[in-house]
């Protein structure tokens, strides 16, 4: 458990520090495809390290992607919750598309305008990045971190575990600005609740992917020249 804690602490320190250094450069000159590829490699490397520590501790894969669902939760209660989550996400995606289509302005969220894809090649690699984030971030922040916090000798209640894990999830998205950290933290807690409700990490992984990949299907942004001039 010690090395799992060291790994998780390292993740929470590395991402904000790296992003702070990375964002000091001229964002208009960033090659997005290379940035996507670099992020994909880094996330899978972290998951590989997590797997090595996880299996070295004698833990199984099922313990990483499942959580014992309380017996008080029945299928009848689970179905409306899951349907509500999926409906909310679907509605937000549709509304985002309509607003971007009508305003014909760049789809922005916090400070991540420089991240969003425009060309077909960028959208293809952003699709892979979304899949990577959905899998890797859920495995680390909902799988490894929740297990670690649940098995600490502190007898933390589930709401506190969810709050800590979701706060850490928000912090590693510091590049999105303060509002982005708050929004990401809320999304993390939402996914944590879904994980607790279903007892399985697969639905949060799918939902996380859907939330991220929506930018692939958004209308193309305005030209780079216009986008750059808006930053001046």
Instruction: Give the domain range for residue 81.
Output: 70-222
User: Could you give the CA distance from residue 142 to residue 163 in angstroms, rounded to a whole number?
Assistant: 11
Neighbours of 81 (CB within 10 A): 14
Whether 23 is in a domain gets the answer no
Whether 16 is in a domain gets the answer no
Give phi and psi for 157, each to the nearest 5: -70, 160
| Total tally of structural domains belonging to the chain | 1
Q: What pLDDT, on the 0 to 100 scale, is given for residue 215?
A: 84
Whether 43 is in a domain gets the answer no
Averaged pLDDT, groups of 10, the chain, 232 residues long: 91 88 77 92 95 93 83 48 52 51 45 79 94 96 93 88 92 83 89 89 93 82 42 35
Whether 179 is in a domain gets the answer yes
Whether 201 is in a domain gets the answer yes
Whether 6 is in a domain gets the answer no
- For residue 11 the two structure tokens come to 């993740």
Whether 140 is in a domain gets the answer yes
User: Could you give the CA distance from residue 63 to residue 232 in angstroms, rounded to a whole number?
Assistant: 50
Whether 50 is in a domain gets the answer no
Q: What pLDDT, on the 0 to 100 scale, is given for residue 102?
A: 52
- The per-residue DSSP string of the chain comes to -HHHHHHHHHHHHHHHHHHHHHTTS-GGG--HHHHHHHHHHHHHHHHHHHHHHHHHTT--HHHHHB----TT--HHHHHHHHHHHHHHHHHHHHHHHHHHHHHTS----TT-GGGS--SHHHHHHHHHHHHHHHHHHHIIIIIIHHHHHHTSTT---HHHHHHHHHHHHHHTTGGGHHHHHHHHHHHHHHHHHHHHHHSBSHHHHHHHHHHHHGGGGSPP-S-HHHHHHTT-
Q: What pLDDT, on the 0 to 100 scale, is given for residue 110?
A: 45
With beta carbons less than 8 A apart as the criterion, state whether 125 and 212 touch: no
Tell me the Cα Rg of the chain: 19
Q: What pLDDT, on the 0 to 100 scale, is given for residue 158?
A: 86
């Amino acid at each position: 458990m010690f090395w799992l804690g060291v790994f998780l602490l390292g993740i929470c320190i590395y991402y904000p520090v790296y992003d702070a250094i990375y964002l000091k450069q001229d964002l208009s000159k960033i090659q997005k495809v290379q940035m996507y590829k670099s992020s994909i490699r880094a996330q899978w490397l972290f998951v590989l390290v997590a797997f090595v520590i996880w299996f070295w501790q004698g833990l199984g894969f099922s313990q990483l992607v499942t959580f014992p669902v309380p017996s008080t939760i029945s299928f009848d209660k689970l179905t409306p919750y899951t349907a509500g989550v999926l409906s909310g996400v679907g509605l937000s995606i549709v509304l985002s598309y309509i607003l971007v289509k009508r305003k014909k302005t760049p789809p922005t969220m916090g400070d991540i305008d420089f991240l969003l894809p425009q060309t077909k090649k960028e959208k293809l690699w952003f699709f892979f990045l979304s899949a990577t984030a959905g899998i890797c971030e859920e495995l680390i922040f909902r799988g490894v971190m929740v297990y670690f916090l649940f098995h600490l000798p502190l007898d933390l209640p589930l709401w506190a575990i969810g709050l800590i894990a979701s706060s850490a999830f928000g912090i590693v998205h510091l590049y999105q600005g303060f509002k982005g950290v708050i929004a990401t933290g809320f999304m993390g807690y939402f996914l944590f609740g879904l994980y607790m409700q279903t007892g399985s990490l697969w639905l949060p992984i799918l939902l996380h992917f859907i939330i991220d990949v929506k930018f692939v299907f958004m209308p193309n942004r305005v030209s780079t020249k216009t986008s750059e001039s808006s930053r001046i």
